[in-house]
Structure 1
Amino acid sequence: MRQKLRVAAYAVCVLDGRILLARSPGPGGVPEWVLPGGGMEHGEDPFDTVVREVAEETGYRIDVSGLLGVGSLRLVRRRRRGLFARSVDHHGVQIMYEGNVVGGELRAEVGGSTDLAAWHDLSEVSGLNRVPLVDIALRLWRERPAAGRVPD
């Protein structure tokens, strides 16, 4: 079985009761809202990753004001390529930071993994089609657990 590790850094940017999210095509082409952020490049510091990814996906420059927590997700997926099917043991590590917008202008990413960036009222997030990481990160942002992890 093939093993795949992905380390990614994400930003929770909240301003005036609104959170900054990016829209991704999602599985099956159904759009879903995600935190701005993404995968670390080899040799890149996660702090630099989140600053770069937010700029790429939203057009904003941010200051990182704190580490909210670290998440870990493991999935085994069966992938089919032509006549062959193969299982992949995927392990994702998500580093979540708090970010404050300090410059730039809101815009959509061009040629990337997202196609729109927008501010959403915190009270309306539960009604959005979103990835579970949005809820986990918001809980970390609200509760600030000392261990940097949302209890099960």
Structure 2
Amino acid sequence: MGLVILAGIGCHGSGPTAGVFDVPVDGAELPIIWEKTGIYSRINRPIRLVIHDEAALAQVPIAEVQVDFRTHMLLIAGMGPVLRDDVGIRITRLWREGTRIRVQEQHVYSEAAGPEGIQPASPWTIIAVPRSSLNVEGYSARVPKGLLSDHPGSR
């Protein structure tokens, strides 16, 4: 099991409540409100996204989620295509460091292959956290063009 600490691209709130978010004190952890993970997706490259609205979320339809974007934002991490389905990704911790939010991820490896053996996959995780106007280091608010496509790890 390995830990990866990421670094990033600026992300700021938009819409009617832009700039009216609570900013955690330096060193404070942000709570993870809920989490969804999966092994298979059409994500065709490693990604780190912060989602502030429904329009951006609609560009990354990997799971059904319900979120109030006035008070929350989503972080999406995807590994992209991998050769095995016994690996996953989780966001385990977020905290404020200076003028940014830092993210800690964990790549998760199973000790045994599933009943069908090892198959190509494209693991992902989505978490909801309290909305913040701080930059999320390593995460972009811009969904890259061509992010989703069919590949051996998609289902």
TM-score w.r.t. length of structure 1: 0.25
Larger fraction in strand: 1
Higher relative contact order (CA 8 A, sep 6+): 2
Larger fraction in helix: 1
